[in-house]
Amino acid sequence: MNASTRYIAPTGLDPVMNRIFNWLPKLGISIAGSRLLAVRGRKSGEWRTTMVNLLVDETGTRYLVAPRGHTQWVRNLRVAGAGELRLGRKAEAFTATEVADADKVPVLRVYLEKWGWEVNRFFGGVTKDATDAELAAIAPGFPVFRLA
């Protein structure tokens, strides 16, 4: 699979679990920093939502990482350039800048340190303990956005 088009679709129980877990942020429940991402659809202009893991690094910089690859929310965010992070009744607007592949290695490492237990199946055996070269090799398949 081409890294620039890598996408792992939900299978088996994933769609059911995704629906259940998307309710948690709507109810104001965050698991390890999860939020409901809301982005305008690139064609419809309507709000589209999905649960994401909000990554905050040691400097306080916030990121969204797409472990399943070039998903619909990634494509919508590229076009919209902005969205909202929702938790319960709170909605925080943000703008997003996509991170270049060469700059993703430290972000992917921190992401795997925090959420490897949840997302490791999407990383093909690459873990937080991977070398910089191993993380750089997979970086094109994992879109990352810096939030402001």
Tell me what pLDDT residue 100 has: 98
Residue 116 pLDDT > 70, yes or no?
A: yes
Q: How far is CA 75 from CA 23, 25, 57, in A?
A: 23, 22, 24
pLDDT at 18 over 80: no
Strands (E), the chain: 34-40, 47-56, 62-65, 82-87, 90-98, 144-147
Q: Tens digits of per-residue pLDDT, 24-53?
A: 888 898 888 899 999 999 999 999 999 999
User: What mean pLDDT is predicted for residues 126-140?
Assistant: 96
Q: Is the predicted pLDDT of residue 1 greater than 70, yes or no?
A: no
Domain containing 84: what range? 3-147
Looking at the structure of the chain, the number of domains it has is 1
Q: What is the pLDDT of residue 3?
A: 79
Helix (H, G, I), strand (E, B) or coil at 95: strand
pLDDT at 38: 97
Distance (Å, rounded) from C-alpha 71 to C-alpha 37?
13
The domain that contains 16 carries what CATH number?
2.30.110.10
- pLDDT, the chain, mean: 93
The mean pLDDT value for 59-79 works out to 97
Residue 4 has pLDDT above 80, yes or no: no
Token match 């909202």: residue? 84
User: What proportion of the chain, given as a percentage, has pLDDT over 70?
Assistant: 99
Q: What is the mean pLDDT of residues 79-89?
A: 97
Report which of residues 92 and 15 the model is more confident about.
92
